[in-house]
Every structure is written in structure tokens, then in C-alpha cells.
Amino acid sequence: MHFCKDFVKGKKHLRFFGSEHSLDDVHINFLREKLKEFKPDLILIEGGYEKANFDSEKEALEKGLEMGFVNFYAKKNKILLEGNDPNYSKTISFLESFYDKRHIFLLFVLLFSLFKPRNCEEKKIITYMEDAINNFKSISNWENFDYSFDNFKLIFSEILKEKFEIKEDHTKWINPELEMSILNIISRKEDLYRDSYMINKIMEEFKEHDRIFVIKGTHHLITMEKVLGELFR
């Protein structure tokens, strides 16, 4: 499911595309249409995808779903692309004020592995999970912390009270809209931190840009719609 909402005040125009992170053709074509008709002079993208580079639209979609597509679209059409999220190290430091490292490690590895392949051999999925762990390690770089896949599985079972099944979809544990685990609560707090950053980023960028396109998960738009409505009154 996707939502697109426009906020306008004078010559300043914000289009916020809320996405459910999908490769569905209808979804991608709707996104393409909303980008094409809007003609933004700046796109603010989530998840650090402003830094990614892809050689083709096909590769962008396979590796980054709609965020990869927007990255490729922006660069192909020479549209300025920036992030709408704080960098991960700042977010991790923020969460460390409230939670222990094991919870944060578990949350971020699950986040980084959201798009892991599930319909292939287990060896390939394990490699994907290890890449997600190494990605988190490079950002957090905690001393004397066990960044192994075995430790991840141990923490998963201890916190979530079930065995980690590698081919299962684990989105429910980190979905900020659910109440399945402590990770849902941490994810909501992370979202609030990111949304606060995003609002400040949008208003700062409107000092130099008139047409800004934001793409972020649908729940961010649902949460921020009232706030943005007030800002654009």
C-alpha cells in the first residue's frame, strides 16, 4: 500500500510519498508517475540510500526496492538527492541512552536484513545476515562486543523467546505499529528521533528549494501528517 500527500504554502510545495517497501509493478509505476509529474528540485530519501550507486534500474530495484529506484531516478534525471534520516551512528547513540547494546544490535541487524532473500539456499541467506551484522559493526564499533551470527541468534532467542528461523520474515518484531516485543517499542522511539530530524531537514531545505519530494515508510506519513499540516498552514 502506498500514500501520497501534498503540502503547499505559497510557492513552497512538499510531496510526501509513504511506501510499504515493495517491488510490485503497480507500486513502482505509481511512484514513477508521482515523481515525473511533480518535477522536484530536491528529493529526500530514507535509509541512507542517497549514498548508493546502481548501474541500472533493474539492479536498483533488486538491491534497494523503491528506495533504490528513487536513487537511480534522481541520478538519471540529475535531481539533487539527499537523506531525510540522521546518520546511523547518531541514531545508535540516541538509543544507547535508553537501551542496552544487545537490544540495539538485534534491532538494527533485523532492520538491515529486512530484504534478505528467503527463497534460496540457506548458505546465501546466512551470507546476507553476516553482511547485515558487519554493516552494523562498521557503524557501532563497540569494544568487546561479539558481532558474530551465533551471538545474534543467541540474543534473538533470549529477547524474543523463540529460535531464529533464517527463512522466516521477522518484520513483525521491529514493526513500530505492532506490540509483539520490546523491539517494537524501541523501533517507535527510533522513528520519533528520525521524524524529528526529518522535519528539521525539510524546513531547512525549503530555504533554498521550492519543490521537495520526500519518500519514507507509510507509517511516517501517517504520524507526521498532522505536524506537516500545521507547518504548511
Per-residue pLDDT tens digits for 176-207 = 989 999 999 999 999 999 999 999 999 999 99
Are 179 and 199 part of one and the same domain? no
Are 157 and 221 part of one and the same domain? no
Are 26 and 102 part of one and the same domain? no
Considering the chain, what percentage of its residues have pLDDT values greater than 90?
Answer: 78
Window from 13-17, 25-29, 156-160, 196-200 with minimum mean pLDDT: 25-29
Are 92 and 174 part of one and the same domain? yes
pLDDT at 77: 97
> How far, in Å, CA of 67 to CA of 86, rounded?
16
Instruction: Report pTM.
Output: 0.85
Are 92 and 184 part of one and the same domain? yes
Tell me which residue range forms the domain holding 226: 3-86+194-231
Are 94 and 148 part of one and the same domain? yes
DSSP 213: E
pLDDT averaged over every residue in the chain: 93
Partner residues linked to 16 by β-bridges:
5, 214
How many structural domains does the chain have?
2
For the chain, how big is the Rg over CA atoms in Å?
18
pLDDT at 20: 79
Confidence of residue 64 (pLDDT cuts 50, 70, 90): confident
Question: Phi and psi at residue 209, in whole multiples of 5°?
Answer: -130, 150
Are 151 and 164 part of one and the same domain? yes
Q: Which residues does 154 contact at the CB level (< 8 Å), separation at least 6?
A: none
Q: What's the CATH number where 55 sits?
A: 3.90.190
Are 96 and 176 part of one and the same domain? yes
C-alpha cell at 124: 546465501
For residue 191, which of 101, 85, 93, 119 has the smallest C-alpha distance?
Answer: 85
Are 182 and 145 part of one and the same domain? yes
Are 62 and 78 part of one and the same domain? yes
